[in-house]
Amino acid sequence: MHPQGPVPPRDPRAAVREVPEAAGCGQRDRRSVSQGVTASAPGSSRPFEATDGGGQAERETGPMQSRVSDRLRRLIRSGAIRPGERLLEVRVAQAFGVSRSPARAALAMLLREGLLRKVDGRGFVVAGSSPLAADHPQGFASLPGDFPIEPAPRWERILVEVEQALSSHALFGAVRITEERLAACFGVSRTVARDVLVRMQAIGLLDKDRLGRWVAERLTPERIRDLYEIRWLLEPQALCHSAPGIGAGRLRQMRAALVATLANMPSADSPLLDRLEHELHVELLAGCRNREMLRALEATRVLLVSNRYVFDLFLGIPVEVIAGSLREHLEVLDALLAGDARRAAMALEAHLRASCGHWLERLERVRPLSHPPFPPYLSALADR
C-alpha cells in the first residue's frame, strides 16, 4: 500500500494509437482522447528552464490549449484562483484572449488531472474547498484584469511536425534535413527554419556532420542503451540534489494527478501524459545545483521526443505499459514524500532501466515495417 493512498488496479486494456499522417508540410499533429496516447515525456525541444512558484516554466510554449491549461494550473496552484471557485469556458476564453475551443480543451485537461470538478449546467469548479470561495464564486473575479496569451513564435508552430518526421525516419536510417527546403516547405524564413534546427540539435535529435550538413543519425539499439545509461546514472543523482527544495505540497499535487490518471487510464491523452513525464524527468530535477549535469541530460532528450511520436505512429503503446510506467512514477513520489531521497533515486533508476527495455523491445517491432515517405525537406544519407 502506498503511504499517500491507494493506487488504482492495473487496467490491461487494448493499446491506443495515433493515426499516421502522410508526408508533407504544415499538417497538424492530430491527437484525440482515444488516439495518440504515449508514455513519454514532455516532448518539446526546450532546455531545462527555471520555474515559478508553481513549478511550471514561466515561458509558455506549445499548443494554445496547453498554454491556457498551464496558465490556469499556475493560478490554481498559487491560490490566485481558489478551491470552490467556478470557471466557465466563455470566461476563460475572454480572460486569455483565445477562442472557446482551446479554452474548452484546457478545462477538460485540468478536469482529467483532478484540479477541477464538473458541475452540471454551471461549468467547472476548482477542486477542494475554501471558506473564501463563496465570496468569489466566479473564477477570475478577484483578479485584476485579463491575461492575454501571446501567439506562439513561428518556429514553434512547425516544430512538432518536424520533430515527428525526423524521429520516425531516424528509426530506419540516417537522414539529412535541408534548411532551405524546410523554410520553403513551411513558408517561413531561413532564420525561422534555423531556429527549429538549433532547438532539435540541443536535445540530440540532429547535429552537423563534418561536411556542414544537418544530419540525424540512426537510432540504433547501441545508441539507445548509451543514452539511457547516461540517464540512469545522472537523473537519480540530480534528484538527490533537488529533493531538499521540493515542497511536499507540490509532490502531493503530482501524486494526485498520477492517481487520477491511472483511475481514468483509457481516457488519458498525450498532453496529460507528457505533463506527468515532464514533472518527473524535468521539473523534479530542475533544482539540481549542478547545471552541467542538467546540460548533459538535455542531450538525452532525443529519447523523449522520439518515444513521444514514433511508437504511437507505428505501433501504439499498450495501456498496461503506460500504467506500469506511471506506477513507477508513484514509487518515486512516495519515497520523496516519505523524506527518503535515496529510495526515490533508486526507484527512478529502476524506472529508467525498465524504460530502456521497453524502448528496445518496441524498436525491434518497428524495424520490419515499411519506411514512411519522406517530406520534401528530408532525404536518406547513402554514406551512412
Residues 318 and 191 grouped into a single domain: no
The torsion angles phi and psi of 47, rounded to 5 degrees, stand at -75, 170
pLDDT tens for 276-318 read 888 999 999 999 999 999 999 988 888 877 766 665 554 566 7
Residue 15 corresponds to which cell in the numbers above?
493499446
Residues 76 and 183 grouped into a single domain: no
Residues 215 and 227 grouped into a single domain: no
| Residue 45 confidence (pLDDT) above 70 | no
Query: Could you tell me the pLDDT band of residue 203, with boundaries at 50, 70 and 90?
Result: confident
Stronger pLDDT, 32 or 201, i.e. the higher one = 201
Stronger pLDDT, 179 or 154, i.e. the higher one = 179
Output DSSP code: residue 87.
Answer: E
Query: Could you tell me the pLDDT band of residue 154, with boundaries at 50, 70 and 90?
Result: confident
Provide the pLDDT for residue 366.
Answer: 76
Q: What's 375's domain CATH number?
A: 1.10.10.10
Q: What's 319's domain CATH number?
A: 1.20.120.530
**Boundary (domain end) residue, out of 86, 107, 135:** 135
Provide the pLDDT for residue 4.
Answer: 45
Provide the pLDDT for residue 33.
Answer: 26
Q: Where are the alpha helices (DSSP H) in 81-153?
A: 89-96, 100-113
Provide the pLDDT for residue 375.
Answer: 94
- CA atoms of 311 and 338, how far apart (whole Å): 35
Residues 353 and 288 grouped into a single domain: yes
Does residue 264 lie in a domain region? Answer: yes
Query: Could you tell me the pLDDT band of residue 96, with boundaries at 50, 70 and 90?
Result: confident
Please tell me the total count of domains within the chain: 3
For residue 318, the enclosing domain spans 221-366
Provide the pLDDT for residue 369.
Answer: 76
Does residue 146 lie in a domain region? Answer: no
Residues 209 and 236 grouped into a single domain: no
| Residue 59 confidence (pLDDT) above 70 | no
Instruction: Spell out the residues 6+ positions from residue 193 whose beta carbon is closer than 8 angstroms to its own.
Output: 155, 179, 180, 182, 183, 186
Does residue 357 lie in a domain region? Answer: yes
Residues 187 and 320 grouped into a single domain: no
Stronger pLDDT, 76 or 157, i.e. the higher one = 76
Does residue 280 lie in a domain region? Answer: yes
Residues 198 and 243 grouped into a single domain: no
Stronger pLDDT, 355 or 367, i.e. the higher one = 355
Provide the pLDDT for residue 167.
Answer: 86
Instruction: Spell out the residues 6+ positions from residue 19 whose beta carbon is closer than 8 angstroms to its own.
Output: 30, 35
Residue 267 corresponds to which cell in the numbers above?
481516457
Does residue 351 lie in a domain region? Answer: yes
| Residue 145 confidence (pLDDT) above 80 | no
Nearest to 16 by CA among 268, 319, 311, 313: 319
Query: Could you tell me the pLDDT band of residue 8, with boundaries at 50, 70 and 90?
Result: very low
Of all residues in the chain, the percent with pLDDT exceeding 90 is 36
How far apart are the two ends of the chain, measured CA to CA in Å?
51
- CA atoms of 334 and 255, how far apart (whole Å): 8
Output DSSP code: residue 317.
Answer: B
Does residue 32 lie in a domain region? Answer: no
Whether the model pTM is above 0.85: no
Residues 226 and 360 grouped into a single domain: yes
Does residue 23 lie in a domain region? Answer: no
Residues 232 and 206 grouped into a single domain: no
Provide the pLDDT for residue 237.
Answer: 98
